[in-house]
Structure 1
Amino acid sequence: MVLLILLYLSDSRTSLYGIIIFELLMLYNLIFKNKTSKIILSLLLFPIFLISVTYFTKDISVENLNFLLSNRLYLWTEAIETLNYNDRFFIGMGSYLNSQISQYDLTLIDNGYIYMVFQNGIISLSIMLLLFSLILVFLWKNTNDFNGIFNFCLFVLYLFVGIFENSLFNLSNLMTIFVLSNVYHFIKCSRFESKRKDELYENCA
């Protein structure tokens, strides 16, 4: 709750949209308890969501979209073009992130995924996405109570904010510290509880 309040007070559009997504996802998971029902409904709603987004954004020009994204689109494009020009997609540009290699200050990319590629390459991004996928699947499997649902939705919020902010693995970011520490604690407790149940089952067998 404290984190959501801090996100709201930041007066950031990314934070506000993130809070809306978090609340809707929480409500969705609390209403639909059965995982099979949630998967089926999600598969039905996702195409509708894509069609709606496409319909409402089809007349938006690149310039207007970049304006709505606070110049992020140009920064993302510049970062990718810089990687392509230097032929460093696999290993990235390293820690050399000053404006001498670009007309923009690429430390302000404001996309955790592109920033990871820019600094460490596509291989590092692939490893990071694999790790995030494993965490997401584990959290999804443990959405059996409010605590599990909260941590799943919190991690989804974290991944969403990473699209528009350089917050992934940024240990100077309050949200990153809170989410990763909270999720780590939840996974540790869940694994301990699962191990304890297995031991009780073996003792009773």
Structure 2
Amino acid sequence: MNSRTDVARSVKVVGEEIEKCKHAFFAVRKKGQHVELIQDNQVAFLKSGIVTIHRIEDGLLTNSIKAPAVIGLGHIHDIGLTHFIQCKSECSMWILDSNIAFDLFTEKNLWQDAFFIIRKYLYICMPKGKLIHKSSAREIVIEHLKEIWALDEPERHTTSVYNFILSRNNISRSAVQKVVRELESSGDIKFYRGKLIELNEMA
């Protein structure tokens, strides 16, 4: 069983148990609304929608998570708040206090599944943290173009390259445009109306 299958199964198992728990409550959050899981020390089973995770210090987007997903595990009992969660679309979720979630995981023998979920969270967050600290605009743009290219085709075709990069980095639009023009001129990428339609290995 590969790691992606492990995580998908774990999300399903943990999510179903959270949803069935008598202490969980159902909530719907509108697009743009904050989800106060980190501040309130809660976890949630995201049933529908997409949430984004941002750094508090500058608002930079560090991760985007689609339903179905279990969110909040990576920030349980944080000593200092470093991130906040925001809905990119309307979202529905089952929310549970983290202390009750701990008891639930023990009672239902879910700690291995929780581990798989947290491990995935760490793997997808750590590379994005490195992207933010790339030394040059060119490196930042190229790494994010690779990330966009790795998206599923329907999502890639609707992703604005400029919005994607600017929301994740303290970098000027003109700097991004300069690098994009250079990469287009060298034939490394092809653009159409702000969307990435081709990325060559050399980029």
TM-score relative to the length of structure 2: 0.29
TM-score relative to the length of structure 1: 0.29
Q: Based on CA coordinates, which of the two structures has the bigger radius of gyration? A: 1
